[in-house]
Structure 1
Amino acid sequence: MTENTAKNISVYAEASPNPESMKLVLNQTVLPEGVSVDYPNVEAAANSPFAQELFNFEYVSRIFMASNFVTITKNSTDTWAQLIPELRTFIKSYMEAGGPVFLETPKAESKADQPRDENQTEEDAAISQKVIDLLENYVRPAVEQDGGNISFKSYKDGIVTVNLQGSCSGCPSATITLKSGIENLLKRMVPEVTEVKAEGITI
């Protein structure tokens, strides 16, 4: 006997460090583990009918999705207490109706896709790999808990550049997290690192 595939979707809100962003957690996966998407506007969300529908809410200014959650950033003075019930109802209804999340499921960025600096020395390449491993294993899971994402961009002359997405983008406390948390960890574990900079936030 086959089970009914219709699923009762639950959606709960989880505050993020960014007061303008809210993490909405589902009891089903939205994306495969290790894959995320960041849509700063509706044009960027061409591959996601679900995100396009969310952008129809006039207060939604940015959408980030990973694993089993959606992080929504608002551009409204309305409180989250006012907005969450509407967003939860929409997400629950959309998912239970089997609405498409993506036209084509995004894939994890392979190492071949990551930007390579042709002038990078072997030593810098080795340091870059150490940094990538630390970010993936120690930093990324914590950042995801807060409804965001971090990815490695480059390493040169002791400076690591990362990209922050989701709730981290535009978050007032992101600079503190970057400097007191991520930078300290990388300096301790990889002595060659002298500074960490980020795209996606203003330092």
Structure 2
Amino acid sequence: MADTLTSPLPGFYLRRSQPQPESMKFVLNTQLLSDGVSVDYPNLEAAANSPLAQELFNFDYVSRVFIAANFVTITKASDLTWTHLIPELRTFLKSYVEAGGPIFTVDPVAEQKAAHEAVATGDASEQDQQISQKVIDLLENYVRPAVEQDGGNITFRSYNKGVVTVNLQGSCSGCPSATVTLKSGIENLLKRMVPEVTEVVAEGITV
């Protein structure tokens, strides 16, 4: 579980990810993306379509930026404590959003819709497509809401011969307990609900 930290600025609250102490979730009172859509930027080069993420990477201690419906999760890569970093980041985010700064130059919703359609219409058999859809529904309804609480996300990548591949984003990508959670929680859930699933593996784990 993550602990909620109070903020003197209206429209903000913070959540520190207990499994990943280097990540902080900044919750805004502004909708940045549609519910269920998120984007993960592991470095500046990956953030070419997000002016907001590019600005955040200008802070030399920021190593990863994750943007979801109404929050931004920032992962730091320095020995500085959050006590010193939060005021600067919080003030920047509030000013940027209130000034109407651009969040994206390319619509992530359209990109992800195209990706889902590619999964649905790929070379997989009809049976595998049905299994994939069951897995996607379980991840969306049962797993993703819990993962978002800690400032991360999980997305379906593929299903092949019993193996489900998912992508872990945001605070989950650097979480020390990500592998344990993946195997003892997510894998067990999918095996129980979709008998064809034999294993769950993850992309995006950087620990």
- Counterpart among 77, 80, 85 of residue 78 in structure 1: 80
Shift of 1:146: 1.3
Shift of 1:115: 7.3
Structure 1: gaps (5+ residues): 1-7
Equivalent in the alignment of 1:199? 203
How far apart, CA to CA, are the structure 1 residues paired with 2:126 and 2:102? 44
How far apart, CA to CA, are the structure 2 residues paired with 1:194 and 1:78? 42
Equivalent in the alignment of 1:176? 180
Letter in 2 for 1:11: F
Shift of 1:96: 1.8
How far apart, CA to CA, are the structure 2 residues paired with 1:13 and 1:38? 19
How far apart, CA to CA, are the structure 1 residues paired with 2:64 and 2:180? 22
Equivalent in the alignment of 1:101? 103
Is 1:138 aligned to 2:139, yes or no? no
Letter in 2 for 1:29: Q
Letter in 2 for 1:137: N
> TM-score with structure 2 length normalisation?
0.87
> TM-score with structure 1 length normalisation?
0.89
Is 1:15 aligned to 2:50, yes or no? no
Letter in 2 for 1:178: L
The within-5 A match list for 1:1-203 is 10-16=11-17, 17-107=19-109, 109-110=112-113, 111-114=116-119, 117-118=122-123, 120-201=124-205
How far apart, CA to CA, are the structure 1 residues paired with 2:203 and 2:121? 17
Equivalent in the alignment of 2:3? none
Asked whether the equivalents of residues 9 and 95 of structure 1 are also in contact (C-alpha less than 8 Å), the reply is: no
Secondary structure at 2:32's aligned position in 1? coil
Asked whether the equivalents of residues 14 and 24 of structure 2 are also in contact (C-alpha less than 8 Å), the reply is: yes
Higher share of residues assigned helix: 2
4+ residue runs over 6 A deviation: none
How far apart, CA to CA, are the structure 2 residues paired with 1:115 and 1:79? 44
Measured at CA, do residues 80 and 97 of structure 1 come closer, stay the same or move farther in structure 2, by a change above 3 Å?
Answer: same
Letter in 2 for 1:73: T
Asked whether the equivalents of residues 31 and 105 of structure 1 are also in contact (C-alpha less than 8 Å), the reply is: no
Deviation per CA, 1:82-117, whole angstroms, max 9, x where unpaired?
A: 211111111111112222222243215223133765
Residues matched between the structures, number: 195
The CA RMSD measured in Å over matched residues stands at 1.8
Secondary structure at 2:78's aligned position in 1? coil
Structure 2: gaps (5+ residues): 1-8
Letter in 2 for 1:188: R
How far apart, CA to CA, are the structure 2 residues paired with 1:104 and 1:195? 34
Shift of 1:197: 0.3
How far apart, CA to CA, are the structure 1 residues paired with 2:166 and 2:106? 26
